[in-house]
Structure 1
Amino acid sequence: MRPPTAVQRRIIEAADPETGRLSGTETQLAGLVRARLAFRHPRPPHACFLTPAGHRVRKEGAAPAPSPPPAPATPAPSGASGVFAARTGTETERPGTEGAARAREVRSAWEGLVELRRMTNTDGARDRPCGWERAHLVQAAALALEAAACRPAAPGTPGYQVEETPQPEAVAVREPTREGLRACADALSRAGWQTSEHAERRAGGRYVLASPRRA
């Protein structure tokens, strides 16, 4: 494999430090893809990310202060908005897509995220969260839960809720039943998250604290 050009190195060094997403002209990105230093995500907007080989190049000669990149892409498209959004259970309106159509969207998004893990984790691991998930904790955890067939809450309907927490790289998952809470914890554990159950000091209920596993 030919060594990257000076321009390619600059693009690689400016990649998002968490997700490995690249910025550049279409010609520049296509060259990195041909050199197997980047791959194009199969889902719109077809953003380019570093491959494990690209991550190695970046690690060998990374710039000390890469320029800020655009926001990372979400794993998959969906619905009228054109962008998939996993259900966190905190939505104020009832969801539009249901049944088999929603199941297909969730399955497609989860498959896209697993592929993103394979291509952006430096060791190609599919069973461990990637940089995109650590940068989008609530959406990533919600997708893992919905893909595992756990049921999100909807207005007037019980189910799980995923919320941010003050702790870095951690989300809180609440579910009205103990059985449902444990099912959520199991689903996240299978998806590569570390989980622990805690008691609410004021409300008296329980919740699961979850964070992406790094190794």
Structure 2
Amino acid sequence: MTRPPTAAQRRVIDAADPVTGRLRGTEAQLAALVGRGLAFRHPRPPHDCFLTPAGHRIREAAPEPPRAAEAAQESAGAGGVFAARVGGEEEPAAGPSRAREVHSAWQGLLELRRMTNPDGAADRPCGWERTHLVRAAALALEAAGHRPAGPDGD
């Protein structure tokens, strides 16, 4: 297990943008986070730094005793694939990580529209949406901020 981030690094991680994970800090702080694998530097100018999944986990985790942190690290490695909430499934954890996942999935869907529509329009459904109506509608609703109904309709 690696050692936890310093107080200054923790402040930079905690202040990261909640959706994109964009970091603001001194060059030394950012370089240290990149060196520890908690952030990466974007390849295109202005070469901003963003949190890696490990950095997001540190930001979302409450300070824990060392033994509990080790157990959490082991269980965090079993991440899954994003799935739109269509009903009937277990309620995934809400919060900043879900907001990031929904935002990323919606941006991916818009890019899919742009790439597959002949004129490059992102305002019309693409072929994938037509063949996966329920998932596409669930993603669109969740991206717009609507909370899915529970199994009892509330």
Deviation, 1:194, is 3.2
Unaligned segments of structure 2, at least 5 residues: 64-76, 84-97, 144-154
Alignment-mate amino acid for residue 135 of structure 2: Q
Question: Tell me, what secondary structure is at the counterpart of 1:30?
Answer: helix
CA deviation after TM superposition for structure 1 residue 161, in Å: 4.5
User: 1:150 Cα shift?
Assistant: 2.2
What percentage of aligned pairs have identical amino acids? 43
For 1:140 and 1:8, how far apart are their aligned partners in 2? Answer: 30
Residue identity in the other structure for 1:131? R
1:140-151 to structure 2, matched below 5 A, reads 140-147=108-115, 149-151=116-118
C-alpha RMSD of the superposition: 3.8
Partner of 1:51: 52
Q: Does the residue aligned with 1:21 lie in a helix, a strand or coil? A: coil
| Higher share of residues assigned helix | 2
The 2-side partners of 1:44 and 1:136 are apart by 24
Which residue number in structure 2 is paired with residue 109 of structure 1?
none
Cα separation, 1, equivalents of 2:102 and 2:36: 26
Q: Distance in 1 between matches of 2:99 and 2:119?
A: 23
After superposition, the Cα gap between the structure-2 partners of 1:132 and 1:56, relative to the gap in structure 1 and judged at 3 Å, is closer
1:126-145 pair list within 5 angstroms = 131=100, 134=103, 140-145=108-113
Task: Report the residue type matching 2:103 in the other structure.
Answer: R
Superposition pairs of residues 65-144 of structure 1, within 5 angstroms: 131=100, 134=103, 140-144=108-112
- Corresponding position of 2:30: 29
Q: Mark the runs of 5 or more structure 1 residues left unpaired by the alignment.
A: 63-121, 154-159, 163-173, 175-180, 197-208
Higher strand share: 1
For the Cα contact (< 8 Å) 2:113–2:126, is it kept in 1? no
Aligned length: 113
Residue 15 (structure 2) pairs with residue 14 (structure 1): yes
**Equivalent residue of 1:185, what SS?**
helix
User: Cα deviations across residues 146-189 of structure 1 (Å, max 9, x unaligned)?
Assistant: 33x32236xxxxxx442xxxxxxxxxxx3xxxxxx4615158x6
Deviation at 1:210, TM superposition (A): 6.5
Query: How does the TM-score come out when normalised to structure 1?
Result: 0.40
